[in-house]
Structure 1
Amino acid sequence: MPAAVKREAIEVVQVANGRPIKMWTDGVPVEAEARQQLLNTARLPFIFHHLAVMPDVHLGKGSTIGSVIPTRGAIIPAAVGVDIGCGMIATRSTLNASDLPDTLHGLRSAIERAVPHGRTVGRGKRDQGSWHNPPQAVNALWAGLLPGFKRIVEKYPRLRDSNHHQHLGTLGTGNHFIEVCLDEAERVWFMLHSGSRGVGNAIGRSFIALAQADMRQHLANLPDRDLAYLKEGSAHFDDYVEAVGWAQEYARSNRSLMMANVIDAARRVIGKPFSVDAEAVNCHHNYVQKETHFGSEVFVTRKGAVSARQGELGIIPGSMGAKSFIVRGKGNTDSFNSCSHGAGRVMSRNEARRRFTVADQERATAHVECRKDQEVIDEIPMAYKDIDAVMHAQRSLVEVVHSLRQVVCVKG
């Protein structure tokens, strides 16, 4: 990578034939492959001003996860990704730690029954991670999303058969989770992480393929085919902007619905009546939207990054065995008003499965009521960066409002 200069805990990389890269990575590791992806992205002709790199940065598909990509006149669908609108929601309750049951397994089980999670596939099998007969709340929410979906499938009929209605209000797999947490004052919080599920995946993959097809003659000139882009004014650009906006609204609605079901499940288990904050923090961290920066209107793709405007609340989760944070943005203009979306992986899922055992998982999550089996070893805390180091590296981007530690974690 070209020579870098450190300034106020920011590493600034000047890129030949490209835009500068500003990295908030002081004290956290950045793999060589991720640095190369940053260079590849910075050299695209439509990158605006500079790239901003968050401390959770790691290798992604085409572009690094943990980067903020401002563009003029084009969008890279693979940078937005296939979990369009993936993000977090959290809300504080009036409960204290002493109000929780002595044994938390019943609370975890109630949440698992209330929210479809995971995935099962096979001939004749119903996917356990979807609704068989969606409840009325799901139907009502889908009715509001349906007109926009119909407009999209009129042009892209293949999307009609994606998982949409039956995935609304469901968690998914991988790093998606539901947690019950305690803050520094022992108050109980509910928090979860998910996105636009099957329909967002279908939209993302469809437009990634369209961008690559549109650029077929130019792919050889790109350092990575997953940097294929849609140019503003092209046949598919406006359709993508509409579809990605719809998927982001689906994702936000998905999280809100799950949160309502989690709270209802907790009420059935916890004997004491309680209420929750009317204003939950509900933020995307895989998305694109139009914003104004440095005097210009641009598209900002946050690929594993959270909006952190001055005074804006956000959520930065750690691993399933570490702390998470409710933060308030400082409105740092050089970061395009952004912060990290989590701790960030230090190894692939396959490497985590190869390196660690169930016994390792049990030790690392001894303080959490959660699954401790072979299927979740890829989410072991040691597969992630040190969340305290990540938070220190972005001290100019956010301030911590609450520190949360999980006591219950549900994963698919």
Structure 2
Amino acid sequence: MKKLKLRGRDLIKMGFPKGPAVSLALEQAGRHRKFAQKEEVLAELSAVLRSPDGFRADEVWGTVAEKLEPGLPVVVEQVLKDEPIPYKAFGEAGISLSARGQMDLAMRLPVVSAGALMPDAHHGYGLPIGGVWASENAVMPYGVGMDIGCRMSLSVYPLPPSFLEKNREKLQSLLLENTRFGKAAFDRPMDDEVLHHSLFCEIPKLRSLQGKARLQIGTSGSGNHFVEFGVAELTEEDTQLGVPAGQYLGLLSHSGSRGMGAAIAQHYTQIAREVCLLPREAAHLAWLDMESEAGQEYWLAMNLAGTYAAACHRQIHERISTALGEEPLGKIENHHNFAWKEVQADGQEWIVHRKGATPAGKGVLGIIPGSMTAPGFIVRGKGEASALSSAAHGAGRQLSRRKAKESIRPKAVKQHLAGHGVSLIGGGLDEAPFAYKDIYQVMAAQEGLVEVLGRFWPKVVRMDDGK
């Protein structure tokens, strides 16, 4: 009679947490089920895993059941699909092979329901930037991204474009005095109700982030984040926006949830990787079950980070509006790097992740920026199902940060900005206009996703100076 051959890997694949429970189960199986069929033993252990309380008095499995404490995360070894499920890539000719490869890998996950790739897509971590990915009951921290709830916010002021040219130096001073980037913070940060949210006391990870959130509120990140004055042009009367057609002074900001969002992403990605065992090449695509304690915690933390990002933009625009002495005629906001619960046409609810992708549900307003010298587009979504009601979140990079720094010369950037009448405060070569795709081509590739209502031309731009 053959002896039982049972390995720890068999139990971990079943859902046993790594640690003492696995060792004890193997020991007891070897002692008491030495000549049993492997399938029978696995069936017994599956029952122990499902209901450990019912086996605490069992002579064979009692010691194993004691190690399976209620609330312990279930570890599952996941197997990828052989082929990615089909998805639509918009503007496919302008999307790199590496970004397609990342999306193809994500579409092989066993929990994926649907996906789409936006025309500004480029290589990222986990999902590619511009990737949209949906599941029924799973949330992927790296499918949301590091900068949770990163937003675009546009204020339209009752001032003509001529005001900008006549007051360019004044507007530069306003940006310097009323914005902070990167590691810089205000001497006296403004208060906000989000800083007093009960989740900062209820979730241990958030408790450790409250101080940083308080210090960084109202500030902007580094990299491609900016606050800029420019010319906002609305091409037609739009009752939804509430601003008559015409040209106005506009203020556009782009930033997210700062250090708080990054810490949440890192913390819950690590937890996901511990309980969702994927092949090495897909490790950053680990997800959390929405019914698990960690999944619920991440969902609450992610939403709080999104609320915090919105508060940062609100303070940026309040500070500058006060200094300018003007109230906006209207505002447009949208965010990306987030996950939404969305009900589909058949009544099914999906968790839709938009990593660097703009929500574009039917009638939803948004703004898609270009670069320092290319216009942003004020848009209204069409709710295209094949795009999961999404659109691009910008022009998208065509050069990595490293390649941009190596190949772009400061003199060329200076001449290019001058030729477009753009004044730049801060910013690095990695954010030069040449590092980005042609926004007109990106917009042409998504005519079926959004309707264009207007444009925004940057003129006075402030970014992090890297210090």
Q: TM-score band, normalised by the shorter chain?
A: 0.7 to 0.9
Aligned residue runs from structure 1 range 260-275, under 5 A:
260-267=318-325, 274-275=326-327
> 1:33 is matched with which residue?
98
> 2:213 is matched with which residue?
164
Amino acid paired to 1:292: V
> 2:112 is matched with which residue?
47
Provide the secondary structure at the position in 1 that maps to 2:423.
Answer: coil
Provide the secondary structure at the position in 1 that maps to 2:111.
Answer: coil
Cα pair 2:371 2:433 within 8 Å, conserved: yes
> 1:400 is matched with which residue?
452
**In 1: Cα distance, 2:314 partner to 2:206 partner:** 27
Q: 1:257 aligns with which of 315, 325, 350?
A: 315
1:202 aligns with 2:240: no
> 1:112 is matched with which residue?
176
Provide the secondary structure at the position in 2 that maps to 1:260.
Answer: helix
Runs of 4+ aligned structure 1 residues displaced above 6 Å come to none
Provide the secondary structure at the position in 1 that maps to 2:116.
Answer: strand
> 2:161 is matched with which residue?
97
Deviation at 1:280, TM superposition (A): 1.3
> 1:271 is matched with which residue?
none
User: Of the two, which has the highest radius of gyration?
Assistant: 2
Deviation at 1:156, TM superposition (A): 5.6
Cα pair 1:182 1:406 within 8 Å, conserved: yes
1:292 aligns with 2:343: yes
> 1:280 is matched with which residue?
331
Provide the secondary structure at the position in 2 that maps to 1:302.
Answer: strand
> 1:72 is matched with which residue?
136
Higher relative CO (Cα under 8 Å, sequence separation at least 6) belongs to: 1
Distance 1:160 1:406, change over 3 A: closer
1:327 aligns with 2:379: yes
Distance 1:246 1:227, change over 3 A: same
Deviation at 1:339, TM superposition (A): 0.7
TM-score, scaled to structure 1: 0.85
Aligned residue runs from structure 1 range 377-392, under 5 A:
377-392=429-444
Structure 2: state its 5+ residue gaps: 1-80, 234-245
TM-score, scaled to structure 2: 0.75
Cα pair 2:174 2:323 within 8 Å, conserved: yes
> 1:63 is matched with which residue?
127
Deviation at 1:292, TM superposition (A): 0.9
Q: Judge which range, 258-267 or 336-345, deviates more.
A: 258-267
Amino acid paired to 1:133: R
> 1:224 is matched with which residue?
282
1:345 aligns with 2:428: no
**In 1: Cα distance, 2:84 partner to 2:142 partner:** 20
Distance 1:395 1:97, change over 3 A: same
Deviations 1:20-55 (A, max 9, x none): 1101115x511111111011000001111x211110
Q: Judge which range, 348-357 or 204-213, deviates more.
A: 204-213
> 1:7 is matched with which residue?
none
> 2:187 is matched with which residue?
132
Provide the secondary structure at the position in 2 that maps to 1:236.
Answer: helix
Question: Equivalent pairs: percent with the same residue?
Answer: 34
Aligned residue runs from structure 1 range 170-185, under 5 A:
170-184=219-233, 185=246
Distance 1:203 1:337, change over 3 A: same
Provide the secondary structure at the position in 2 that maps to 1:183.
Answer: strand
Amino acid paired to 1:78: Y
Deviation at 1:155, TM superposition (A): 5.8
**In 2: Cα distance, 1:258 partner to 1:152 partner:** 28
Cα pair 1:108 1:369 within 8 Å, conserved: no
> 1:11 is matched with which residue?
none
Cα pair 1:86 1:194 within 8 Å, conserved: yes
Deviation at 1:151, TM superposition (A): 3.5
Deviation at 1:18, TM superposition (A): 3.1
Cα pair 1:169 1:254 within 8 Å, conserved: yes
Cα pair 1:361 1:372 within 8 Å, conserved: no
Deviations 1:253-285 (A, max 9, x none): 111111111222333xxxxxx4412x4111111
Deviation at 1:183, TM superposition (A): 3.1
Q: Judge which range, 56-65 or 289-298, deviates more.
A: 289-298
Provide the secondary structure at the position in 2 that maps to 1:188.
Answer: strand
Q: 1:154 aligns with which of 204, 211, 222?
A: 204
1:18 aligns with 2:70: no
Deviations 1:195-226 (A, max 9, x none): 111111111111111111223xx23x253221
Provide the secondary structure at the position in 1 that maps to 2:198.
Answer: helix
Distance 1:103 1:151, change over 3 A: same
> 1:315 is matched with which residue?
367
Amino acid paired to 2:423: C
Amino acid paired to 1:132: D
**In 2: Cα distance, 1:198 partner to 1:408 partner:** 26
> 1:235 is matched with which residue?
293
Distance 1:160 1:403, change over 3 A: closer
Tell me how large the CA RMSD over aligned residues is: 1.9
Aligned pair count reads: 370
Amino acid paired to 2:95: V
